[in-house]
Chains A and B, each alone.
Chain A
Amino acid sequence: MELQANVTALAYLVAAVLFILALRGLSSPETARAGNAMGMLGMVVAVATTILSPQIESYTWILVAVAIGGAIGLVIASRIAMTAMPQLVAAFHSLVGLAAVLVAGAAYSSPAAFGLLDSAGGIFISSRVEMSLGAMIGAITFSGSIIAFTKLQGLVSGRPLIFVGQHWLNALLGLVALALVCYFCVDQSAWVFWGLVALAFVLGFLLIIPIGGADMPVVVSMLNSYSGWAAAGIGFTLHNNALIVTGALVGSSGAILSYIMCRAMNRSFVSVILGGFGGDSAAAVGSSIEERPVKQGSAEDAAFIMKNAGSVIIVPGYGMAVAQAQHALREMVDDLKKAGVKVSYAIHPVAGRMPGHMNVLLAEANVSYDEVFELEDINSEFSQADVAFVIGANDVTNPAAKTDPASPIFGMPILDVDRAKTVLFVKRGMSAGYAGVQNELFFKDNTMMLFGDAKKMVESIARAMD
């Protein structure tokens, strides 16, 4: 028995190490696939170790559950459009959260099966704290991710939903939840545990509704982090080191991504969580200056300018994803390269709705990853570029972030597209960006606006170049 426990613990350690190597592999696209294989191997080791343990007596239902779940997962993974990746990840987070709640619930209702009973027949105090925290964070992750999913999928408006006293209500509910965790240590009645779970579901819902669509990169990262902490909480309950280590890895990964996203918007994490950004108050700022004239161009003009340029830098944004323009864009770039133009892509960290969103879309469109650059690596090159071609991005190029201390986006790092000799701006209309601020760039002499759907526009430009 002792020997078996040791072997089991060692196998879980191996799984944990394989998971670390899976993340390590992502340091470069060359090693990433091998890393993913390590992750799968780690999962096989962890699951096999558990299945072979004497606690598992009957396999039928487990096989049924794995078969159904696995089939659903594989079908979704093979069909999902790359543009829909943010909502898929949000949906997956919700499943981890719900699974954490269910496992905590199972441990609560059958503590003996998990070895959590003390000599008096109650659940260990430490286990009560761990399972209630795991269930609470899991429930917040679940309902929060559902809301994030509905916003990203466009099922509900991406606008922040704000009401009076919102933050006080959330703070109150959070305190009540923590009080219930404490009370659960004294009284292990069912109402305390399930009451806490219900309260946490409501809290997750309330926490995410005030956050606007453009802050979703932070929210998705944050929920990623929560799902990790929930898993770690369950790991403590089950005394399973693989789960503790994995939870900690995922928790810190999500936290780091949230931090990177906040830094890229020059916003504090707290201000994102409090929400309300991109609401009506900001929209009023831009309306007064929209009357000024802009220089408008056609697809033929753009084709002429770019074909005669030495170098072009493409700046994609969320609008490119919405219009599904990545493939058409790459075809246009192929034409440019044939004409001898040097083309590279510049990605702002918060372009899109999740970290790295644009990179995946460009990879999908067969753009070589060594032509795609992050903000800090390419920003100095705009001053030597002949053309900056902005497609579906707006606020991340707005010079007001540097020059106008009154602007809501002041201090945000931007791509210096205004330094290029010519700026071509593909846009549906003159509307302001998510921050509700007008972009001064539209009115500059070296800017040409190309109004229209992003996909149709790049297709017409490509045709005009032939």
Chain B
Amino acid sequence: MHGDFISQLSIFVMAVFVGYYVVWSVTPALHTPLMAVTNAISSVIVVGALIAAGPEGASLAKTLGFVAVLLASVNIFGGFAVTQRMLAMYKKKK
């Protein structure tokens, strides 16, 4: 399982480059929604929180996982909703 560090690192480095080119193509007018949506998607950290909160029984890890799922959910729902709200305002003249 741990021989794959290099492949993970490769994915990471490639993703940094993808991010670099994609973000430079974002129009400056949408930089605030960009921050809101990157915030929402970085809450995909919830997958780790779910694994921690998943097992039966009680443990420190489960408690930490529960709180982390809660915090990440605020971000996921709040982040996407506020982005949607902002984007709905960008209109062209009728």
B30 to chain A, nearest CB (A): 5
The interface residues of chain A, by DSSP majority, are classed as: helix
Contact with B along A91-107 (1 / 0, CB 8 A): 01101101110110111
**Do the beta carbons of B76 and A70 come within 8 Å of each other?**
yes
Interface segment among A237-245, A269-277, A421-429, A445-453: the answer is A237-245
A77 touches B50 (CB 8 A): no
Chain B interface SS verdict (over half): helix
What's the interface size class on B, roughly? Answer: 35 or more
Cross-chain contact of A95 among B28, B54, B72 (Cβ < 8 A)? B72
A229-247: CB near B (< 8 Å → 1, else 0) gives 0111011111111111111
Q: Is the CB of A238 within 8 A of B47?
A: yes
Chain B hits for A100, CB < 8 A = 45
Residues of chain A contacted by B24 (CB below 8 angstroms):
256
- The interface residues of chain B lying within 8 Å CB-to-CB of A288 are none
Question: Is A19 positioned at the interface, with any CB of B under 8 Å from its CB?
Answer: yes
| Residues of the B chain whose Cβ atoms lie less than 8 Å from the Cβ of A363 | 86, 89-91
Contact flags (1/0) for A338-362 with B, using CB distance below 8 Å? 0000000001010000111101100
Is the pair A88, B82 in contact by a Cβ cutoff of 8 Å?
yes
Q: How far apart are the CA atoms of A114 and B55 in the complex, in Å?
A: 11
A80 to B49, CA, bound (A): 27
Within 8 A of A (CB), among B36-81: 36-56, 59-62, 64-81
From known contacts A76-B78, A77-B82, infer whether A32 and B39 are also in contact, taking CB-CB under 8 Å. Answer: no
A374, B29: Cβ atoms closer than 8 Å: yes
Q: How far is the CA of A113 from the CA of B55 in the complex (A)?
A: 8
- State A246–B1 Cα separation when bound (angstroms): 21
CB distance from B7 to the nearest CB of A (A): 9
Q: How large is the interface on A (under 10, 10 to 19, 20 to 34, 35 or more residues)?
A: 35 or more
Give the distance in Å from the alpha carbon of A287 to the alpha carbon of B88 in the complex. Answer: 45
- Of B68, B76, B91, which is within 8 A of A103 by CB? B68
What residue in chain A is nearest B26 (Cβ atoms)?
A26
Expressed in whole angstroms, the minimum distance between the Cβ of B2 and any Cβ of chain A is 6
Contact between B12 and A238, CB atoms less than 8 A apart: no
CB of B22 within 8 A of CB of A62, answer no
- A55 interface hit (Cβ, 8 Å): yes
Question: Among B41, B68, B69, which residue has its beta carbon within 8 angstroms of that of A250?
Answer: B41
With A77-B81, A96-B43, A231-B44 known as contacts, the answer to whether A238 contacts B18 (CB < 8 A) is no
Structural contact, B85 and A77, CB atoms closer than 8 A: yes
- Check A77–B77 contact: CB distance below 8 A: yes
Q: Find out whether the CB atom of B69 lies under 8 angstroms from the CB atom of A69.
A: yes
Contact yes or no, A43 B42, CB < 8 A? no
Task: Judge if A24 is at the interface, Cβ distance under 8 Å.
Answer: yes
Residue ID in chain B nearest A56 by CB atoms: B54
**B84 to nearest A CB, angstroms?**
6
Q: Are A43 and B73 in contact (CB under 8 A)?
A: no
Known: A33-B87, A57-B55. A76 touches B74 (CB 8 A): yes
Closest residue on chain B to residue A45 by CB atoms: B44
A253 touches B73 (CB 8 A): no
**Across-interface contacts of A195 in B (CB, < 8 A):** none
Taking a contact as CB atoms closer than 8 A, the residue among B18, B27, B70 that contacts A29 in the complex is: B27
Contact A89 B35 (CB under 8 A): yes
Do residues A241 and B45 form an inter-chain contact, with CB atoms below 8 A?
Answer: no
CB-based contact A368/B92 at 8 Å: yes
> CA of A320 to CA of B2 in the docked complex: distance in angstroms?
54
Is the CB–CB distance between A65 and B73 below 8 Å?
A: yes
- Cβ of A268 < 8 Å from any Cβ of B? no
Q: Which of B20, B28, B41, B71 contacts A22 (CB 8 A)?
A: B41
- Identify 23 residue pairs between A and B in the complex whose beta-carbon atoms are under 8 Å apart, listed by A's number: A16-B15, A26-B37, A39-B41, A47-B50, A58-B55, A69-B72, A69-B77, A73-B74, A73-B77, A77-B77, A77-B81, A96-B43, A102-B67, A103-B52, A107-B61, A110-B55, A235-B12, A245-B12, A248-B19, A252-B19, A260-B28, A260-B31, A366-B89
Identify the 4 closest CB pairs spanning chains A and B, nearest first. A69-B73, A73-B78, A356-B31, A73-B77
